[in-house]
Structure formats: structure tokens, C-alpha cells
Amino acid sequence: MIKPAELTPLTALRFEQLVLEAGLPEGVVNVVAGPGSSVGARLVEHPGVAKIAFTGSTEVGRAIAAAAAATIKRVTLELGGKSANIVFADADLERAAASAPMAVFANAGQDCCARSRILVEASALDRFMDVLEEHVESLRVGDPLDEATQMGPLISAGQREQVASFVPDDAPVAIRGSAPSGPGYWFPPTVLCPVARDERAASEEIFGPVAVVLPFRDEAEAVALANDTIYGLSGSIWTRDGAKALRVARAVETGVVSINSNTSVRVATPFGGFKQSGYGRELGPHALDAYTEVKSIYYATG
């Protein structure tokens, strides 16, 4: 399923054409192309618009919520994330470590669901890092049009500069993959460890191919670390202990949790976040709630 916020101007215009070709009446779907600061702001403020759905940064989401308050219109927000990938010592470490890179580096890390905080039980840290290093260094970074490519470039020079600010020269780089040197906003997949839990890389959304690894002692600390963020969008739990998996899944403050996988989005199930990752749900039957008004009608027959 394509969400409007994921459409580029060209694909959005093509989407409108396809809707008409599919038989929907003209005017049912309208695409208005333009910058959010002007076109988007006008839609949010306009009294004729009853509902706004936004996917983007938490900063812009705050501004939209504030502007929408003037007309008391409904708003659903799918915002930033700093999702935790929790790996217990009793997990299939090889599988967890092999899956971790693409849970962060898919789309060059430009993904609100990116599991950019990898929490690993301390007793398994060395083994996990050994396997993780192998898979990060073998990641194929290159032309997105090449079917063999696993990770492409960042979207702009400004975004590359922003991502690089999280990896200064003295950063604790534990693992670094490769990236082309030719034209393109390339940034190599990078893993930082050790990192203090209050450092920028461990607490702020990077929106790029940078992950941090944080060790934990036990289940309680794993939950505390996972919840030590303003965000709550997605996350994973890796363990062979089913009871522990469900306990942690219930305790982690996030809208989507995967056990022994990195799944975040399915068309049939609701998707959305807790805390400053937004409110409301997209996809699944719950998505209709924000577009539905409940009316009570009392009809006296006597």
C-alpha cells in the first residue's frame, strides 16, 4: 500500500492518473503538488478540510497539531522513531545478527521504523558483534537500479551532512561498511559501540545508516533501555523463550513489536506509534476510526 506521504511529486501525479484510469470519478482523489510550508500549511489551516494525515518528522507533526487546533480538525500523525532491536542471550544469535543490518540500513536508514538502537544482552555481546560485523561489511551499497544493491545513497547533501554529524572523527565506530566514492550522497553503513545511553546517537532519530549497540544486564534493564526515548513506533525482540518474549512485548512502549523478526507494516494490521511517534493508526480496520463520525439518533414513535 502506498501512503500519500511516501509519494514523490511525480509518482503522486501518476497515482492520480491511475486512479482515474481505474474508474474513480474525477474529483474523488486530488493531488496538490507543492512544499509543505505553503501548500501543506494551507490544507491544515483550511476550514473546509476535516481530516489531516501526516507522515514525517516529529518537529513538523507538532506544528501540524498546533495549527489544526484552530479549526478543531482531526489529525493522525505517523512521526519519528528510535526503535529498539532487543537481542537476548538465548536468541538465535546468528539469525538476529544477520537480520539486524537491513532492519536499520534498508532505504539507507531513511525509515521511521529503522531499528537503530540494537540492545544486546551483555553475555552475548561479543558473539553478536562478530556476526554483525560480517553482515555489515558484506552489505552491497551501490546503484539503486542494480538488483544486487542492498543499500543506496541518502536523498540529499543536507541529509548526508546531518547523518555525518552523528559520526564525528572521534566517534566509537565498531563496524563500518563500504560505500561508493563516485557521484551520489553516499554514507557507509556504520555501527557505533560503546555509546552512552544519553548521547545524541543513542537518543535522537538519525534517519540514516547509523546504528548504536547498547548492552543490557537483564530483562528489566532491556525494557528500561527500550523505553528510554521520546519515541515509540516499532521494535523487535529476539529470544527462544516465548513467555519472556510476550512479557517484554507488553512492556515495551511502542505501537508495533515483532518477535524473532523485523516486521513493521502489514496492510491488514494497524500501524502507528506511541508517545512522540504520533497518534492514530494507519492500515487495518483501525485506520477507519479517524475518518468516521459516530452519530446517535433518537426517534420518538409515541
What is the reported pTM?
0.90
**197 has pLDDT over 50:** yes
Residue ranges of domains in the chain, CATH in brackets: 4-79+267-291 (3.40.605.10), 84-259 (3.40.309.10)
pLDDT at 34 over 90: no
Among residues 268, 240, 282, the alpha carbon closest in space to that of 96 is found at 240
| Edge-first strand listing for the sheet containing 74-78 | 51-55, 74-78, 278-279
Q: Is residue 78 annotated as a catalytic residue, yes or no?
A: yes
Cell 533501555 sits on residue: 225
| Statement: residue 239 has pLDDT above 70 | yes
157-184 average pLDDT score: 96
pLDDT digits (tens, 9 = 90+) for 73-99: 999 999 999 999 999 999 999 999 999
Share of the chain above pLDDT 90, in %: 90
Q: Are 230 and 275 in contact (CB under 8 A)?
A: yes
Mean of pLDDT values over 117-135:
98
In the prediction, which pLDDT does 12 show?
82
DSSP codes joined into one string, 243-299 = HHHHHHHHHS--S--EESS-----TTS-B--SGGGEES-BSTGGGGGGG--------
Q: What is the pLDDT of residue 4?
A: 45
Mean pLDDT of the chain: 94
41-66 tens-digit pLDDT: 999 999 999 999 999 999 999 999 99
Instruction: Look at residue 193 and tell me whether its pLDDT is greater than 90.
Output: yes
pLDDT of residue 240: 98
Q: What pLDDT does residue 259 have?
A: 98
The predicted pLDDT at position 204 comes to 97
Instruction: Indicate whether 260 pLDDT > 70.
Output: yes
Contact residues for 48 (Cβ-Cβ < 8 A; gap 6+): none
pLDDT at 241 over 70: yes
Name the least confident of 7-21, 70-84, 102-116, 205-219: 7-21
Q: Which of 6, 21, 78, 204 is catalytic?
A: 78
pLDDT at 130 over 80: yes
Question: Which of 16, 45, 59, 112 is an active site residue?
Answer: 112
The confidence score (pLDDT) of residue 3 equals 46
Residue-wise pLDDT tens digits, 263-287: 999 999 999 999 999 999 999 999 9
pLDDT band at 33 (very low <50, low <70, confident <90, very high): confident
pLDDT of residue 1: 38
Residue carrying the nine cell digits 473546509? 48
pLDDT of res. 9? 62
pLDDT tens for 7-18 read 556 788 898 999
Q: How many CB atoms sit inside 10 A of residue 15's CB?
A: 14
